[in-house]
Amino acid sequence: MAKKGKRYGEFQEQVDRMSLYTVDEAVSLLKKTSTAKFDETVDLASRLGVDPRKAEENIRGTVSLPHGTGKSVRVAVFAEGEKAREAEEAGADFVGTDDLVDRIVEGWLDFDATIATPDLMRSIMPKLGRILGPRGLMPNPKAGTVTMDITETLQNIKAGQIEYRVERTSGIVHVPIGKTSFEDGQIKDNLNTVMDTLVKARPASAKGRYIRSVAISATMGAGIRIDPQQFL
């Protein structure tokens, strides 16, 4: 069995894994235990009472974080002609059609999000579905990334719009909500925005308790559980 490091032991002493913290307590504890030498990403994980195998409960969408993610987002846009020029003028990092598809098929994945015009989906889906789909990078109408409105969609993503979707095997939604360098209030604002979005996305067919668990963690930190009743 692998031996756990000293920092892990220190986290265990400060974070009671059996306790459910308030949002204020959790964010304060997260900042206190984030001692890595780099600006760690803050992640939110929430397990929902849904069955993702059912189409109506396969929750997916986008949410704009009021304070962004703290990360520069590289966006690849599948477009041609006038829409390709629009993407370039709007600040897309990569723009193309077949050439972009070929690069990805060859193993290039140096981007964080994608956008595509509807007319190109039929040609890129067969080649890229199995590559980008499992990574959550495939353009999708539900996420608003299959669109003719390239400029607004691109600007929203660059400004801090993130995509969320429930994992098919666990019912967990896992998203970044900022950096440990953010002020406490900024992390709380982003956290509450995501949770409010998830609550509003509850499908009518979902039965029983909907928000099963909520936790935040830094890249190198321990998971800090939050009382889900605060969001209901």
Mean pLDDT in residue range 132-160: 93
C-alpha–C-alpha distance, residues 212 and 122, integer Å? 38
Supply the pLDDT for residue 212. 96
C-alpha–C-alpha distance, residues 218 and 1, integer Å? 24
Tokens of 61: 């969408």
Render pLDDT for 70-81 as a digit per residue (tens, 0 to 9).
Answer: 989 999 999 999
Supply the pLDDT for residue 10. 56
Mean pLDDT in residue range 74-96: 97
SS3 readout for 100-126: HHHHHHCCCCCCCEEEECHHHHHHHHH
Q: Are the C-beta atoms of residues 33 and 221 closer than 8 Å to each other?
A: yes
C-alpha–C-alpha distance, residues 113 and 75, integer Å? 5
C-alpha–C-alpha distance, residues 115 and 153, integer Å? 8
Mean pLDDT in residue range 39-53: 96
Render pLDDT for 164-208 as a digit per residue (tens, 0 to 9).
Answer: 999 988 999 999 999 999 999 999 999 999 999 999 999 999 999
Buried b (16+ CB within 10 A) or exposed e, 43-76: bbbbbbebbbeeeebebebbbebebbbbeebebb
- pLDDT category of residue 14 using cuts at 50, 70 and 90: confident
Question: Which of 220, 224, 178, 172 lies closest to 21, judged by CA?
Answer: 224
